[in-house]
Amino acid sequence: MSLHVSSVAIEDDRPLLDLLPHVPDALAWVRDGEGLVAWGVAARIEAGRGPDRFRRAGQALGWLADDSAVEDEVGLPGSGLIGIGSFTFDADADGSVLVVPRVVIGRRGGTTWRTDLTPPSATPAPPVASSPPVTTPTRPRYAGSSLPDVHWLEAVARAIARIDAGEADKVVLARDHAVWSHEPFDAIDLARRLTGRFPSCHTFVVEGLVGATPELLLSRSGRSVTSRVLAGTTARSADEVEDAALGAALLASEKDLVEHRFAADSVREVLAPQCADLAGEVGPRLLRLDNVQHLATTFRGHLDDPDTSALELVGALHPTAAVGGTPRQAALEMIRELEGMSRGRYAAPVGWTDAAGDGEWGIALRCAELAGARARLFAGVGVVAASLPEAELEETRLKLLAMQAAFGADPVR
């Protein structure tokens, strides 16, 4: 027998991220006070390379579950045996991983539970944190980019020329900021700051990848699936009238509507053959988040084949037009040729799955890859024929500044 798994309801209403002990292998997937935090490693599934890495990881989790004894008194999404993971953007890159933790604390619909996943003859896992965490802002200092931004500007200009020449309709180009500090960056501390700043986003922590994403790539619960596409963005304003005007302008912006349609179509094309009853909203609606407003389309449907897992769908969806482009293959080729960096796990699926194939997956945008006292921050933009290189550069500059500011922002609870 591989693991002994036991989920029981507990009484604890403290913020989930405050329950994490100070350990390097903390994991998190939280939003609006609910979700999962976890620590320790009961099993680590390295998914390898190739477009098949999503399905393989899910399959390996299934084998582990078949070989484990699971007692689940809770029966909510995320209880029982789960893996929390993140995948690489590039199918040819190493680093896609699904971690089966030793301890999970979950909360959903007001119920809090604890799952222990114990390998045979394992030493005890670290206990739940007993005291509130100490927060120490760690100022990130700039250390350079994979591609100097003046060359990135030229890459955007080349992408526009190639779009004009008919090679693709849209391509997403990203760039990175390497940062350093005197003290090691603390993933949980950053996660707490992000939840304070972006409470309606999913905040995630997976092996040093920390971020907050508003997008829901795919959630599956039994046969029912949901996907929320966000593409097309504008600012928010403290002034109510101006805020509404910004939103109205976004809903009327041809460039943003086209960009959004590419992203929504790329999700519809994958889900429609899987769900006969797939329904998307008519036209995007405005989703107002904490610091920006997006064009959003939510798809809902029921799987024709109940055995299709969340990870299989994630593998078919990735990369969507929101992180790759349209058409997909042409866009991926341009990214490889023009971007001048490895995306690692940026702009790729992050989330959790259980052995039955349920789970919730987002895309790791607005995130940082932490490694000791060093980190990499990322920002990307959708390039279309109407794009201007200097405007795209400015948009990534502002996104990178916002992410840097998040390191020092006060956590709010």
Nearest-angstrom CA–CA distance, 267 and 230: 11
Q: Nearest approach, Cβ of 183 to another protein (angstroms)?
A: 8
Q: Nearest approach, Cβ of 279 to another protein (angstroms)?
A: 41
Q: Output 184 or 199, the one with its CB closest to another protein.
A: 184
Q: Nearest approach, Cβ of 227 to another protein (angstroms)?
A: 33
Q: Output 111 or 181, the one with its CB closest to another protein.
A: 181
Q: Is the peptide bond before 21 cis (omega within 30 degrees of 0)?
A: no
Torsion of CA 265, 269, 275, 280, to 10 degrees: 10
Q: Nearest approach, Cβ of 390 to another protein (angstroms)?
A: 4
Long-range Cβ pairs for the range 119-122 (8 Å, 24+): 119/2, 119/3, 119/42, 119/43, 120/1, 120/2, 120/4, 122/42
Q: Nearest approach, Cβ of 185 to another protein (angstroms)?
A: 14
Q: Nearest approach, Cβ of 208 to another protein (angstroms)?
A: 23
The structure tokens listed for 211 are 């971020």
Among 11, 46, 73, 170, which one carries the catalytic annotation? 170
Residue whose pair of structure tokens reads 């849209």 in the numeric block: 170
154 has catalytic annotation? no
Q: Output 124 or 144, the one with its CB closest to another protein.
A: 144
392 has catalytic annotation? no
3-class DSSP state of 140: coil
- 156 membership: H or E segment, kind and range: helix 149-164
Q: Which residues bind another protein (CB under 8 A)?
A: 139, 144-145, 148-150, 153-154, 157-158, 182, 388-390, 393-394, 396-397
Residue whose pair of structure tokens reads 């101006």 in the numeric block: 242
From its phi and psi, is residue 240 left (phi > 0), alpha (psi between -120 and 50) or beta?
Answer: alpha
Nearest-angstrom CA–CA distance, 7 and 398: 43
Q: Nearest approach, Cβ of 291 to another protein (angstroms)?
A: 19
Residue whose pair of structure tokens reads 């899910």 in the numeric block: 58
- What one-letter code names the amino acid at 209? L
Nearest-angstrom CA–CA distance, 246 and 239: 10
3-class DSSP state of 122: coil
Among 207, 215, 339, 392, which one carries the catalytic annotation? 215
Q: Output 20 or 160, the one with its CB closest to another protein.
A: 160
Give Cα 35 distance to the centre of its chain.
Answer: 14
Cα within 13 Å of Cα(247), Cβ side: 20
Which residue, among 232, 252, 359, has the nearest Cα to 297 in the 3D structure? 232
Q: Among all residues, which ones are annotated catalytic? A: 170, 215
